[in-house]
Chains A and B, each alone.
Chain A
Amino acid sequence: MNLLEVRNLRVWDGRGGSVLVSDSSFQLKKGSCLAIIGESGSGKSLTCRAIMGLNRRGLLQSGKIRFKGVDLNELDEREMRSRRGKQLYMILQNGMRAFDPSSVIGVHLRETLARHYHWNKSETTEKLRQAMQSVRLQDPIGILNKYPHQLSGGMLQRVMIALALLLEPDVILADEPTTALDTVSKFEVVEQFIQLRERTGCSMIFVSHELGVVKKLADEVMVMRAGSVIESGTAAAIFSNARHEYTRYLTSSQRKLNDRFQELMGGAGIADR
């Protein structure tokens, strides 16, 4: 069953008229993870933000985005707002910019939870504490009282995942969540994403150009180039026998790096998960 269905999505600049995403269509099955890969500027993030209705004002979009029987494109801002967070949840690349820099993390989290649940203060704190501990953040109460700039990128990313655990959204859109992280925090964040899916059973759209991470998480992969979808299929098919030359080019440059590393490591000693 398709949870989300995007048909003929088109995003263009209202002033210049240049088309940024042209005619892309895809479906997200319930409980599966769709990865969108492509180089920067290929329209991956724009597609994500178009689904959330978060593109900046100058950008216009057309097409159908059917989610639970409703076309999101036709909803007004108020109706869209009630869906964001609880039903559609977005995780951004840059944790520093995703949180309000002028208040501590706790304020942001409580505010979001208060919109969707009727929990009292101590209940909220207790739930947050549990969620943050389950993504392996030590000292949750301390973190709630810190400003975004006092935490590392990996920690902020895990805070966002903890919030997702509490909101239990239907669809999670993750826009390059691991790109800015180093090896160790990347590993931990990917691990948490896998667990998040296991716990909440949510569907996921995962935007990334890191094929290693995509391989680990995705069931299906969609390749974008210069604003249009050029190939899509199951992860195994895309990585082993891609039909399109561009896809092969993308996967081959990753493989080259990988091969050298494997050769040095003697092909062993690297755990799959």
Chain B
Amino acid sequence: MLTVEGVYKTYRKGGIFSRERQHILQDISFEYKEGECLGIIGESGSGKSTLGRLLLGIEKPDRGTILLQGESVEKKGGRRGRISAVFQDYTSSINPYFTVEQAILEPLTLQPDGLEAKRDKVGRLLRQVGLDSSFRSKYPHELSGGQIQRVCIARAVATESPCILLDEAISSLDGSVQMQVLELLKELKDSFRLGYLFITHDIQSAAYLCDRVLILRSGQIEEIVDIKELKNVQSPYAQKLLRMMIT
């Protein structure tokens, strides 16, 4: 469904007029199949989030192509309704002037259904992520981190896109809430037949949710491995990463 081929990305280092470039991603190529759950793991600064932004079409690669069902993600029409996202910083991912209902309705504005039908849908979605309808009229600051992240997930599911990109979506939640959200993601995955691109530095939660993991190291793919083969990783870096897990 998603084909990434030979992607390079650099940022300018220093001022606007600086010639020096910093390589963020180098020669990234992989395939993502529909309905699959692919974990992208790596240390901070390894380029995980940049890769995420490229996959969403928010930024353009310097070289290489990213095709979403055969169309380039750089075109707006190419990615509409096919990929959506949930980000780490839940405090800034919902417009503070919007109620929960407005926030979830926003991505539906382009869909032809009437307002009533859309409202029904919001109610259904909220129930599915474990919030009751009293949350409709609440503002983001009235909710806890876990609740906002649930609203963000409901909003991402609302467009019925087959793939959701989660960029450190559970990293700023605490242990037990992390587990609740992970369980929710698993449930939604089965009931909507969703696929995830799960970007994280937490190998344990990736192991819990994903079918396959891609290990990034300073902008390059170190290894792509089936989760069942995790204990047999080949590269020394991946082995080191697993050894350093604090369980």
Contact = CB atoms under 8 A, between A and B. Distances in A.
Interface of A: 39-41, 152-153, 181-187, 190, 209-213, 216, 249-250, 253-254, 256-258, 260-262, 264-266, 268-271
B179 A257 contact: yes
Nearest to A267: B231
B241 interface: yes
B207 A183 contact: no
Given A264-B207, A271-B243, A183 B202 contact: yes
Contact of A216 (B45, B207, B246): B246
Interface string B196-234: 000001111101100000000000000000011011000
A266 B233 CA distance: 13
20 contacts: A39-B174, A39-B176, A183-B241, A184-B43, A185-B44, A209-B174, A209-B175, A211-B175, A212-B246, A213-B246, A254-B176, A257-B204, A260-B208, A261-B203, A261-B207, A264-B207, A264-B230, A269-B243, A270-B243, A270-B245
A265 B246 contact: no
Given A152-B45, A260-B207, A182 B201 contact: yes
For the complex of A and B, list the 7 residue pairs with the smallest distance between their C-beta atoms, beginning with the closest: A253-B179, A182-B201, A187-B244, A209-B174, A212-B246, A253-B176, A265-B231
A165 B177 CA distance: 35
Contacts of B182: 257
Contacts of B115: none
Interface of B: 42-45, 144-145, 174-180, 182, 201-205, 207-208, 227-228, 230-231, 240-247
B42 to A, nearest CB: 8
Q: Give the interface SS of chain A, mostly helix, strand, loop or mixed.
A: helix
Contacts of B178: 253, 257
A186 B228 contact: no
A100 to B, nearest CB: 23
Secondary structure of the B contact surface, majority rule: helix
A183 B203 contact: yes
A6 B220 CA distance: 51
A190 B144 CA distance: 29
Contacts of B205: 257
Contacts of B175: 39, 209-211, 250, 253-254
Contact of A266 (B145, B180, B231): B231
B230 A265 contact: yes
B176 to A, nearest CB: 4
B199 to A, nearest CB: 12
A265 B92 CA distance: 37
A214 to B, nearest CB: 10
Contacts of A253: 175-176, 178-180
Given A182-B44, A265-B230, A266-B231, A258 B243 contact: no
Given A183-B201, A185-B44, 19 more contacts: A153-B44, A183-B246, A184-B43, A187-B244, A210-B175, A211-B175, A253-B176, A256-B179, A257-B178, A257-B179, A257-B204, A257-B205, A260-B208, A261-B247, A264-B230, A265-B230, A266-B231, A269-B242, A270-B243
Nearest to B227: A264
B214 to A, nearest CB: 15
